[in-house]
Structure 1
Amino acid sequence: MYVSTQGALAGKVALVAGATRGAGRAMAVELGAAGATVYATGRTTREKVSEVGRATETIEETAELVTAAGGTGIAVPVDHLEPEQVRALVERIEREQGRLDVLVNDVWGGEHLITFGKKSWEVNLENGLRMLRLGVETHLITSHYALPLLVRRPGGLVVEVTDGTEEFNKTFRENLFFDVTKNTPIRMAYGLAQELKEFGGTAVSISPGFLRSEQMLDHFGVTEENWRDAVEKEPHFAIAETPHYLGRAVAALAADPDRARWSGKSVSSGELAKVYGFTDLDGSRPDAMGYFRDVVFGGKEGTAADYR
């Protein structure tokens, strides 16, 4: 049975690294809706745009949405590839809050670097290595500086956000650099779970399903209001979910006093929805990973509607 997370994180402090848009923004907002103070970091501000090239979403806007949802949003421009910037960020959190309860490692921004359909020796090497830096090195740097503050109190939570669960990613992701980048956070969560155990901490790897992020909606030329129009072009988009589905999953994890049961595991938004009872914004409960496992890869008779 679903237990609302409203107010459950009052007094808690979260850092969502990579909260400019998409899943990062939604996780920050849903943590705020549960009452948390959320530091939202990223590279795109109202004055400066990152290499992603989208000026339409900023960390300031994310922080405002967090506050509007009921939490306290604090925007901090940070390039998580720059150790000194991350160190300064954590020092600021310590100075202003004296604690850190939730760390969400969601830094990415490498979609523009992916080339599918080519061998690892045929793709642009610089782009491939940049993907690894954006999706792996940033997570390691952030954890290095943030975890000493997080482990001061038992019960800390680290969420490693990636694309695909451990089960789903047994299927090659069609670009070796992308494959390695998105599998690494799964292993990081496993390793961090071992390191955090003696401090009463939990580390979990989590993946959305087919995400209706701002970039994905733009890719298909649709909006959140008419997203189903894209199903004709991409039938599997019928199982798509909003970023808030993942956000609610993370808020449920953070509010769960028994969250250690998930430590070291790789889970999806749809899997956690079955346990915690939350839904997507439209009231549905999509299980994209189950749909791909059974129908797309497993050959089972069924449609996306059967997994919503």
Structure 2
Amino acid sequence: MERDLTGKVALVAGATRGAGRQIAVQLGARGATVYATGRTTREQRSEMDRPETIEETAELVTAAGGTGIAVQIDHLEADQVGALAERIDASHNRLDVLVNDIWGSELLFSWEHKLWEHDLDKGLRILRLAIDTHILTSHYALPLLIRRPGGLVVEMTDGTLEYNSTNYRVSFFYDLAKTAVLRMAFSQSKELASYGGTAVALTPGWLRSEIMLENYGVTEQNWRDALTVQPHFAISESPAFTGRAVAALATDPDVARWNGQSLSSGQLAQIYGFTDLDGSRPDCWRYLVEVQDAGKPADVNGYR
């Protein structure tokens, strides 16, 4: 793999696990210095109470060929985010890639409850974790990013603009959180354009995150065993696939062509040519529309 991000600096906000971790790793594999932030360290866990830590992520980045730097941050705390931006400025005087992947609401939303039935405090916290954190991070990081033309902002969400505009995402608070991030990417694209910057929204497909694998009682090595329970899980993708999508964008000299757009990992794989760990290119969002949502039997032929 080319080390075409050597000398570049990336901030992956929300890199403790899942897509964020592998985005950091794949940027590191291209030679980048990656600041991996999150709330869980080896000494302290967040409210998620998960075992994955930002130190582990940083070590994976370094092992992949980059330089991983773990920083414990609560991205709802402005002073902490501001201090991080000052640290990056003092150490590198640049920021080339910002990935807003903060989420941490898996334990808060309910698929079963309507807006008027949902716990209001939990619902409002979902919005703070999914939206306010991204705003705070961009507010403090973008002054660094616009110093040089070519800066890239990736807003991570769930669902493409096309899909989310016509499909209700099961829960009011989940739907609002994920759709708002799409608009945030568009808005930032307008403000960054005159500085030579690019902002996009990116969604993975059905992601085999640590939590998703545990939900089905499988690992990344035997994930296909879950197909007996959920056949459509055959279209799922590893977090590395999403990470490779971000790395492809970050190394594209013509990345500005995507400014303001809603993108998916499967879509970008067809254009940039990267694959998932098994050598396939799962096109999840087309599959969801044409197969799963259409009520057809699971069949990934032609979709990965």
Cα displacement (A) at 1:231: 1.1
2:36 partner amino acid: A
**Equivalent-residue separation in structure 1 for 2:80 and 2:301 (angstroms):** 45
Which residue of structure 2 aligns with residue 62 of structure 1? Answer: 57
Give the TM-score normalised by the residue count of structure 1. 0.96
Q: Which string of whole-angstrom CA distances, capped at 9 and with x for unpartnered residues, describes residues 146-198 of structure 1? A: 00010010000000000111122121011101100001111011000000000
1:151 partner amino acid: I
Which residue of structure 2 aligns with residue 99 of structure 1? Answer: 94
Paired residues of 1:205 and 1:266 also in contact (CA < 8 A): yes
Which residue of structure 2 aligns with residue 287 of structure 1? Answer: 283
Over the aligned positions, Cα root-mean-square deviation in angstroms equals: 1.1
Structure 2 counterparts to residues 1-308 of structure 1, below 5 A: 6-55=2-51, 57-169=52-164, 170-298=166-294, 303-308=299-304
1:52 partner amino acid: M
Paired residues of 2:232 and 2:298 also in contact (CA < 8 A): no
Cα displacement (A) at 1:306: 2.8
Q: Which string of whole-angstrom CA distances, capped at 9 and with x for unpartnered residues, describes residues 8-55 of structure 1? A: 111100000000000000000000001100000000000000011102
**Equivalent-residue separation in structure 2 for 1:244 and 1:305 (angstroms):** 22
Cα displacement (A) at 1:119: 1.1
- The DSSP-based 3-state class of the residue aligned with 2:155 is strand
**Identity percentage of aligned residues:** 64
2:211 partner amino acid: Q
**Equivalent-residue separation in structure 2 for 1:298 and 1:91 (angstroms):** 50
Greater shift in the superposed pair: 161-170 or 194-203: 161-170
Aligned length: 303
- The DSSP-based 3-state class of the residue aligned with 1:74 is strand
Paired residues of 2:231 and 2:298 also in contact (CA < 8 A): no
Give the TM-score normalised by the residue count of structure 2. 0.98
